[in-house]
Amino acid sequence: MKTLIIARHGNTFAKGETPTRVGCHTDLELVEEERGRGVGLYLKKLGLVPTRILAAPLKRTMGTAALAAEAAGCTCPVEPDHRFIEVDYGPDENKTEEQVKARLGAEAAKAEGIDPATLSAEELDARGEAIIDKWNADATVPNGWKVDVQQIRDNWMSLASEVKDGEVMLCVSSNGTIRFAPVITGDYAGFCAEHDIKVATGGVCIFTSEDGTTWTCTEWGTKAFKKI
């Protein structure tokens, strides 16, 4: 049996802070340890102590991986892997969701042949929210974001092929990148139709394979810190 575990990093905004859309160009520290440790404790509870750990080379992902490794009792090092760094949100990098929706709403209005200045803030917000909803539903990339979808999918396929027999591999990444991981199941569209592909902070996704070719998702987006 081969096991690939994918986890999203912990929180980078404290309670009461206004979160922003944090991509590959914004390197924030974790503001808590509960979710990272929760990943490790949950995996230990399941008997899935990682034998190899990879993490995107950002403070939030490397930090989460280190916390998970310690909590699980792992002795293997955390290996930085740039393939699984967060996506580039372009003009929306480090902007609030309200700002993001306003920009995307204006872009959508222009595409419809409508002057954004003639629309209310609510109308622009609705258009922008619909675009974000598509991103969360089936990973349709909003205009302006720099996301190489095929490359990210290829990276996940490559990682799956690297898992050895009997190995339990953990990869810590981010929300924008993780949503493409189900491509390894061979039916990405079907997976999106059945699951919320937006994984919460500290969320755990587990894939297993008996032959190294056919991968099955046994858990998706489990909030590990609530399960221990």
Query: CB-based burial of residue 213 (10 Å sphere; 0-12 exposed, 13-18 middle, 19+ buried)?
Result: exposed
Express each pLDDT in 40-52 by its tens digit: 999 999 999 999 9
pLDDT category at 212 given cuts 50, 70, 90 is confident
How many beta carbons lie within 10 A of that of residue 14, not counting itself? Answer: 9
Express each pLDDT in 176-211 by its tens digit: 999 999 999 999 999 999 999 999 999 999 999 998
110 φ/ψ angles, rounded to the nearest 5 degrees: -60, -40
C-alpha span between 94 and 102 (Å, rounded): 14
Express each pLDDT in 62-89 by its tens digit: 999 999 999 999 999 999 999 999 999 9
**Cβ within 8 Å of residue 116, ≥6 positions away:** 105, 106, 109, 110, 124
Provide Rg for the chain, Cα atoms. 18
**Residue pair 225/35 in contact by the 8 Å Cβ criterion:** yes
C-alpha span between 127 and 132 (Å, rounded): 9
Express each pLDDT in 108-162 by its tens digit: 999 999 999 999 999 999 999 999 999 999 999 999 999 999 999 999 999 999 9
Looking at residue 73, what is its pLDDT? 97
**Residue pair 58/24 in contact by the 8 Å Cβ criterion:** yes
**Residue pair 210/44 in contact by the 8 Å Cβ criterion:** no
Looking at residue 53, what is its pLDDT? 98
CA distances from 80 to 139, 173, 197, 215 (A): 25, 10, 24, 24
**In the chain, where does DSSP find H-type helix?**
34-46, 59-72, 97-111, 121-138, 149-162, 175-178, 188-194
How many beta carbons lie within 10 A of that of residue 73, not counting itself? Answer: 12
- Look-up: residue for tokens 């205009």? 143
pLDDT > 90? residue 166: yes
pLDDT > 90? residue 213: no
Average pLDDT, the chain: 97
**Cβ within 8 Å of residue 160, ≥6 positions away:** 4, 184, 207, 209, 212, 215
Looking at residue 200, what is its pLDDT? 97
Instruction: Tell me the average pLDDT across 101-112.
Output: 97
Query: CB-based burial of residue 18 (10 Å sphere; 0-12 exposed, 13-18 middle, 19+ buried)?
Result: exposed
